Amino acid sequence: MAQSASNTILTFTKPLIQPEKRRPFPVSAQIFQPASPKKPGHLSTKPLTPARAVPKTNDSLSSFIHELEKEKPAVQNKTTGLADRWPEILGEDDWAGLLDPMDPLLRNELIRYGVMAQACYDAFDFDPYSKYCGSCRFTRRDFFDRLGLAETGYEITRYLYATSNIHLPNFFKKSRWPKVWSKNANWIGYIAVSNDETSSKLGRRDICIAWRGTVTRLEWVADLMDFLRSISSDKIPCPDPTVRVESGFLDLYTDKDDTCKYCKFSAREQVLTEVNMLVNEAYPDEEVSVTIVGHSLGGALALLSAYDIAETGINVRDDSRAVPVCVFTFAGPRVGNGRFRARLELLGVKVLRVVNVHDMVPKSPGFFINEKVHPILIKMAENFPWSYSHVGVELALDHKNSPFLRHDGDLVCAHNLEAHLHLLDGYHGRGQRFVLANGRDYALVNKGCDFLKDEFEIPPNWRQDYNKGMVRNKEGRWVQQERVILDDHPTHMLHHLNKIGLSTNNNYSEQ
């Protein structure tokens, strides 16, 4: 029977292990211990080995799985105690004592926010043969449902867009067809708010800003061979002209295109107006937090937007209460110089960076002059346009500690967000054995790369667009599936821009 063209919602082929219906893999099967030491007091340098070997034959494997099902642990409430501890989890004390050993509640929250960043990749259309390339596959109202994340407990209030007319060609994706959804825009993330039930569990109303990073190879790193420039040069308020950030990131955050309905406001204007409306109008009497998350280049945007929110002061209410602003980045690059780091700390923005020590992206830009060189050299080079510094607290992970992952994975694998979430689930502290605490499905690692060891028999890049978006219309012909037109910008944008004192050069009036 022919499929109707009115069926506009994209579906995916059934994965080998469905993340939305997965069951926790038994803890007993995921505890890995170091190889026996050669002599007392000497730690072996051999790779971690599994405590229980997986049988190779199909019959033995079936029996083994059946045995493990009997040992299935009880599902724990991952939010227990969060309502009382949320300021600590969001870095009130800079995560002192929470990283080594790893605090279970913090681990759960990092994974939860990481999943919200991963959703940006899973929902993004980067197929150049799609006329919707560069857009989000779903409307914001069914975004989480279509990704199997209905239990997230957030509602998206705003999609975020950026103009592709800047000097970061390897970040943006464009369709090869002449008739496309937009010629100059790319979807780069969303703003979501926790619903009443989730807010009760979290202990506050949480505003989450999730930024998309890069979706294919790492050619965009070449775009970072640029220089630092004053953040105030793009009309972002800063009393210190020596605060500098990477110019490509700044362009991505502040540029706009008056001819494009999606980019007639910059990403900066989109974020500030929405956060101001949510903090000061939608939930003025509630306990509120602003949590910003991003992976890769999205981590850079997370830092810029966090700085902007705090420097502009829209997180400060009329009674002088400041809404906390926290940033969780995964595999993020350096963004600015030492003065940028100092300014963020002065503004009270809390930053926790999750990195894989084998990933090259967090080491750039600033390969030679950065926060790790001698203080005297930093002082001498602080005014140079290539002197960078990381900000916040770093949580360093090592993919070679996971018995699930190949040690010879390429740079893309080491940078993969799902791999970072896998490593988080198994991390308990430096020197401690790798244990998947939450039973997070390791098959998710290969969703968009080839990183798992062959013995786990999970095919690489297994998540695929069903029939590449092709459907049969009423005449029985195969055509590209039509999609619902995405939201652009709310009609109250100019009102909120004026309210927070942002000037605009847009040549149109409020609708």
| The pLDDT value given to residue 28 | 33
Instruction: Summarize pLDDT for 324-342 with one digit per residue, the tens.
Output: 999 999 999 999 999 999 9
Q: DSSP state, 37? A: P
Strand ranges (DSSP E) for 259-398?
288-295, 325-330, 350-356, 393-397
Instruction: Summarize pLDDT for 228-265 with one digit per residue, the tens.
Output: 899 998 778 999 999 999 988 999 999 999 999 999 99
User: b/e map of 98-126 (b: 16 or more CB within 10 Å)?
Assistant: bbeebbbbbbbbbbbbbbbbbbbbbbbbb
Per-residue CA distances from 127 to 23, 124, 510 (Å)? 31, 9, 34
Q: Rounded distance, CA 308 to CA 343, Å? A: 11
Backbone angles phi, psi at 291, to 5 degrees: -115, 125
State the amino acid at position 357 in one-letter form. Answer: V
Has 42 been annotated as catalytic? Answer: no
Selecting among 206, 251, 359, 425, the annotated active-site residue is 359
| The pLDDT value given to residue 34 | 36
Helix-strand-coil split of the chain, %, nearest 5? 35, 15, 50
| The pLDDT value given to residue 25 | 36
**Looking up tokens 């209905």, which residue turns up?**
150
What is 19-30+76-499's CATH number?
3.40.50.1820
Identify the segments of the chain with pLDDT beneath 70: 1-79, 168-170, 216-225, 367-370, 372-374, 376-385, 503-511
Q: Could you give the strand order of the β-sheet that contains 288-295, starting from the edge strand earlier in sequence?
A: 154-163, 185-194, 205-211, 288-295, 325-330, 350-356, 393-397
Selecting among 130, 135, 175, 296, the annotated active-site residue is 296
Has 399 been annotated as catalytic? Answer: no
What residues does 336 pair with on adjacent strands?
A: 245, 389
Selecting among 390, 415, 420, 496, the annotated active-site residue is 415
Q: Rounded distance, CA 323 to CA 310, Å? A: 9
| The pLDDT value given to residue 72 | 39
Q: Rounded distance, CA 233 to CA 127, Å? A: 35
| The pLDDT value given to residue 410 | 87
Contact 153, 195 (CB under 8 A): yes
- Give the contacts of 210 (CB within 8 A, at least 6 positions apart): 116, 117, 119, 120, 189, 190, 191, 192, 292, 293, 294, 298
Q: Where are the alpha helices (DSSP H) in 392-447?
A: 411-415, 417-426
CA dihedral 412, 415, 420, 426 (to 10 degrees): 70
| The pLDDT value given to residue 381 | 64
Backbone angles phi, psi at 155, to 5 degrees: -120, 125
Q: DSSP state, 484? A: P
Residue 447 structure tokens: 């969703």
User: Which pTM does this prediction carry?
Assistant: 0.83
Has 420 been annotated as catalytic? Answer: no
Q: For the CA atoms of the chain, what is the radius of gyration? A: 23
